[in-house]
C-alpha cells in the first residue's frame, strides 16, 4: 500500500505537492469515491482517477546495480554529479534506489519503481543482511572486532549486533581488510562503526544484499531481478518483521 499522492506523482500526473492539492480540491477519486483526505493509502487493484481520467500505473520492475564509486544514490543531483538512474536511461519506468550507498562506496544497490517493495526492504524490523568489505587504516585487535559484533555507540544510538571477520592484514602498510555483516541501514553506518573503534575506512564495498551478490557484474553493470528473486527478498524481509 502507498499514499495516494505518491501514486499520483509516480504516475507522472503532477508533483507530490501538486497531487496533494488535487486531492484536497476533490479532484481525485478512488474506486469511484472522492477522496479529500491526505494520507489515504491505496493498493495496486484500486482504481484512481484524476479529473475523471484514470491514471496509468507502470508495471513494477526490479534491478540490481553494481554502483561504482563516485556515483550518487539518487534520481538526480543539484551539483550535476552522476546518479544511479543514469545507468537506466533506456528504462521507461521511473525507478529509484532502495536505500543508498555513500558517494565513495561501491557495490550492490537495488532499484525499483515498486514503493511497497522498497518500503518492505527498508523497514527497520525487516532489514535484510548486507555484507560489506572494508579496507581500513590500522590493524584492529580482537577486542575491537568484538565491539563491532556487540554493537558500538554512535551519535544516533547503539548499533545492533553484527558479524565481523578480519580477512587480511598488511603490516607494512598498516592496513586491514575486514568483512562486516549488518542488518541495519543507517546513514554512513559502516564507516561510522569503524571510526568508532579507531580504524577509519579507506575503501568500502557492499558485496552482498541478502542472497544477491555481484557475480558476473562489473562497476556500472545492472541486471533485472527474476520473479523468484523478488519473492525470496519479500519473504526474507517479512519473516523478520
Query: Within this chain, do residues 20 and 40 fall inside the same structural domain, yes or no?
Result: yes
| Per-residue pLDDT tens digits for 34-56 | 999 998 999 878 999 999 999 98
Q: What percentage of the chain has pLDDT greater than the value 90?
A: 76
Across 193-200, average pLDDT? 97
Q: Do 117 and 218 fall within a single domain?
A: yes
Q: For 61-112, write each residue's pLDDT tens digit.
A: 999 999 999 999 999 999 999 999 999 999 988 899 999 999 999 999 999 9
Task: Judge if 161 and 145 occupy the same domain.
Answer: yes
Q: How confident is the model at residue 163 (pLDDT cuts 50, 70, 90)?
A: very high
Q: What is the pLDDT of residue 240?
A: 62
Specify whether 134 is located in the same domain as 121. no
CATH of residue 148 = 3.30.70.1560
Phi, psi of 105 (to 5 degrees): -105, 135
Least confident of 13-17, 48-52, 147-151, 186-190: 13-17
Same domain flag for 139 and 190: yes
pLDDT score of 24 more than 70: yes
For residue 166, give every residue at least 6 positions away whose Cβ sits within 8 Å of its Cβ, in sequence order, or none. 140, 145, 176, 177, 178
Give CA–CA dist 39/46, Å, rounded: 15
Same domain, 113 and 225: yes
Q: Are residues 200 and 223 in the same domain?
A: no
Query: Do 198 and 90 share a structural domain?
Result: no
Q: How many domains does the chain have?
A: 3
Check residue 156 and give its pLDDT.
Answer: 92
Are both 198 and 81 inside the same structural domain?
no
- C-alpha distances (whole Å) from 69 to each of 3, 52, 78, 83 are 33, 46, 18, 11
Query: 241 pLDDT band (50/70/90 cuts)?
Result: low
* Residues forming the active site: 102
Residues 205 and 226 in one domain: no
Is the model's pLDDT at 213 over the cut of 90?
Answer: yes
Residues 157, 150 contacting (CB under 8 angstroms): no
Looking up residue 9, the CATH number of its domain turns out to be: 3.10.290.10
Expressed as residue numbers, the domain containing 179 is 130-209
Amino acid at each position: 500500500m502507498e499514499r495516494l499522492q505518491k501514486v499520483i506523482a509516480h504516475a507522472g500526473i503532477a508533483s507530490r505537492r501538486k497531487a496533494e492539492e488535487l486531492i484536497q480540491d476533490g479532484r481525485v477519486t478512488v474506486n469511484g469515491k472522492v477522496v479529500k483526505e491526505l494520507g489515504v493509502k491505496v493498493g495496486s487493484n484500486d482504481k484512481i482517477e484524476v479529473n475523471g481520467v484514470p491514471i496509468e500505473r507502470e508495471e513494477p520492475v526490479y534491478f540490481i546495480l553494481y554502483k561504482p564509486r563516485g556515483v550518487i544514490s539518487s534520481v538526480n543531483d543539484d551539483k550535476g554529479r552522476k546518479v544511479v538512474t543514469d545507468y537506466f536511461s533506456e528504462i521507461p519506468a521511473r525507478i529509484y534506489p532502495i536505500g543508498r550507498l555513500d558517494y565513495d562506496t561501491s557495490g550492490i544497490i537495488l532499484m525499483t519503481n515498486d514503493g511497497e517493495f522498497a518500503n518492505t526492504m527498508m523497514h527497520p524490523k525487516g532489514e535484510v543482511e548486507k555484507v560489506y568489505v572494508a579496507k581500513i587504516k590500522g590493524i584492529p585487535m580482537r577486542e575491537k572486532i568484538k565491539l563491532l559484533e556487540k554493537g558500538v555507540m554512535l551519535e544516533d544510538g547503539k548499533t545492533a549486533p553484527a558479524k565481523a571477520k578480519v580477512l587480511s592484514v598488511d603490516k607494512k602498510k598498516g592496513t586491514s581488510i575486514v568483512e562486516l555483516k549488518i542488518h541495519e541501514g543507517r546513514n554512513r553506518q559502516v564507516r561510522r562503526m569503524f571510526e568508532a573503534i579507531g580504524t577509519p575506512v579507506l575503501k568500502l564495498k557492499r558485496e552482498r544484499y541478502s542472497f544477491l551478490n555481484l557475480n558476473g557484474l562489473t562497476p556500472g553493470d545492472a541486471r533485472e531481478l527474476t520473479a523468484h528473486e523478488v519473492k525470496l527478498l519479500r519473504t526474507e524481509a517479512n519473516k523478520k518483521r
